[in-house]
Amino acid sequence: MASVDVSVGLLGYGTVGSAVDRLLTENADDIERATGHRLRVVKALVRDPLKDRGFQPDGEILTRSFEEVRDDPDIAVVAEVMGGVQPTADYVLELLRAGKHVVSANKQLVAQRASDLFAAASSAGVQLRFEASVCAAIPVIKVLRESLVVSNVHRVLGIVNGTTNYILTEMENGSSYADALAEAQRLGYAESDPTEDVDGADAAAKMAILASIAFGSRVTLPDVPFEGITEIETSHLRAAQEMGLAVRLIGSATLVDGALDVRVGPSLVDRHHPLAAIEGAFNAVMLQGDGIREITLEGPGAGGSETASSVVADMVSVIGTTGTGFLQNDPCWRRLRRLPRGELRTPAYMRVEVDDRAGVLARVAECLAAHEISVARLIQHQLPDGAVLHVVTHEAPTGKLESAIAEIAAMEEARATPSALPVISDRGVAGLGRS
């Protein structure tokens, strides 16, 4: 399969832009194997080329001249990751008219200027994509416009701003509003001016975009009344907790008898509702419709790499995989060695039925220790003529767990072969304000 070089331009090289360059650089082989294209950033528009960057760009790609990006005939696709509505809208219009595909992470641009931008893209025969503008890493736009096209969605409910969700959950854990906001800014979740995060305008723009796609009707920012979290105090959060509720900034878009209601505001969410469990800078979108009943997509809603992953995904969609055999030709497959069966690490639960005699518990514990397996929790239940030990271990290789179980089964005090099950305890991901 012959590889095709694709020159990429960036408008902006900040939190998201530098992460896009890093992802394209570090994953160039993976992208090439999957698509047959090698993507390389050749120009990036910034205000100050001398500033320190999260990922230092190669050579002299940073420029203060928009024209250098627009007029470079080699650039086929541009990622708009600079934010703001002006001069951004003018730049994007010029790029589209110049025949370049554009992918954008800018929800305000899409929510306020979609109709003229799409018209320009259409006339020029190029694509404008915007997955990263809503819920960063969650591919909700793709799901709505491709997977659920015949699902007749009638309600969209979501936590669509990472910064405010981070602030609310940090405040639940004792932080002050000001400290939590400062931390969200430091971690790169907040907009450069966080006013739109905390006053709800960011979430309102995202709900306008989601509603437009879900209901196939143009919804713009002025159609969405919004309220943020600036009036929420710790006392509200405590009272909510006492009543089994959680305060969350909720966006809703509902179709009622053919009429549309889209809004954003703080709501009290029942602790058992899936949206109450969304913590830190994570987002979630519940899609309800005929046929699908309900689908919830959850994932990182802010952050440089998280957002950049959606920008890159849009670029891959734009350059296309037709003719390069995505998942159909041999070059896209990697040869991976198989992990030996006993090497996978997991916490585990064990049930061990034993004689109820002095020293038995110690022997079971010694056997686990000899295999370097650490006990996290232990309960003993009495039987009429013995005892059952319920043991939960910390993470250990399954091979060691199996050896320990075989040795415990062979002890004369063991009544039957112990049973064991893996335990799923943490989310397996860190960061974005939760473990």
Instruction: Using alpha carbons, select from 107, 86, 42 the residue that is nearest to residue 68.
Output: 42
Could you say which of ligand NAP, ligand HSE, none residue 16 binds, taking C-beta under 5 to 8 angstroms by partner kind? ligand NAP
What letter would DSSP give residue 274?
Answer: G
E-strand spans in 18-100? 37-45, 62-63, 75-80
Q: Which residue among 57, 303, 347, 418 contacts ligand NAP (CB under 6 A)?
A: 303
| CB-nearer residue toward ligand NAP: 44 or 276 | 44
Segment (H or E) for 86: none
Q: What is the number of the residue whose Cβ is closest to ligand NAP?
A: 14
Instruction: Tell me if residue 107 is catalytic.
Output: no
Q: Does 57 bind ligand NAP (CB under 6 A)?
A: no
Which residue out of 43, 100, 107, 206 is catalytically annotated?
Answer: 206
To the nearest whole angstrom, how small is the minimum distance from the Cβ of residue 306 to ligand NAP?
7
- Of the ranges 29-37, 77-85, 230-238, 414-422, which one interacts with ligand NAP (CB under 6 A)? 77-85
Is residue 382 classed as helix, strand or coil in its secondary structure?
strand
280 lines the binding site for ligand HSE (CB under 6 A): no
Task: State the binding partner of 83 from ligand NAP, ligand HSE, none, CB within 5 to 8 A by kind.
Answer: ligand NAP
Q: Which of 82, 249, 352, 391 binds ligand NAP (CB under 6 A)?
A: 82
Q: Per CB under 6 A, which region of 100-108, 170-178, 271-279, 385-393 contacts ligand NAP?
A: 100-108
Q: Is 300 in the site for ligand NAP (CB under 6 A)?
A: no
Q: How far is the CB of 202 from ligand HSE (least distance, A)?
A: 5
Tokens (6 digits) for 36: 């047959």
The window from 47-55, 66-74, 190-198, 320-328 that contacts ligand HSE (CB under 6 A) reads 190-198
Distances (CA, A) of 225 to 210, 216, 231: 15, 20, 16
Measured CA angle at 427 (ends 264, 246), to 5 deg: 35
- H/E stretch holding 265 reads strand 259-270
Instruction: From 91-99, 186-194, 322-330, 371-379, give the range in contact with ligand HSE by CB under 6 A.
Output: 186-194
Helical H segments across 82-200, by residue range: 88-97, 107-124, 140-142, 162-172, 177-186, 195-198
Residue ranges in 186-245 that form contacts with ligand NAP under rule CB under 6 A: 188-189, 191-192
Any contact of residue 189 with ligand HSE (CB under 6 A)?
A: yes
Determine, following the binding rule CB under 6 A, whether residue 163 of this chain makes contact with ligand HSE: yes
CB–CB of 163/153 below 8 Å? no
3-state secondary structure of 429: coil
User: Is position 136 an interface residue for ligand HSE (rule: CB under 6 A)?
Assistant: yes
Q: Evaluate the CA torsion angle 35, 37, 43, 48 in order and state its sign.
A: positive
CA distance 27 to 311: 14
User: CB under 8 Å to 369, separation ≥6 — which residues?
Assistant: none
From the list ligand NAP, ligand HSE, none, partner contacted by residue 413 (C-beta under 5 to 8 A by kind): none
- The answer to whether 221 and 204 have CB atoms below 8 angstroms apart is yes
- Going by C-alpha positions, the residue among 399, 400, 402 that lies closest to residue 420 is 402
Q: Which of 278, 286, 305, 82 is nearest to 189 (CA)?
A: 305
Q: Looking at 35-43, 301-309, 340-348, 416-424, which segment touches ligand NAP (CB under 6 A)? A: 301-309
CB of 54 or CB of 386, closer to ligand NAP: 54
Interface with ligand HSE (CB under 6 A), residue from 167, 181, 285, 302: 302
Active-site annotation, residues: 206
Q: Which residues bind ligand HSE (CB under 6 A)?
A: 107, 136, 161-163, 189-191, 197, 202, 301-302
Q: Which residues bind ligand NAP (CB under 6 A)?
A: 12-17, 45-48, 51, 81-84, 87, 105-107, 132, 136, 188-189, 191-192, 302-304, 307
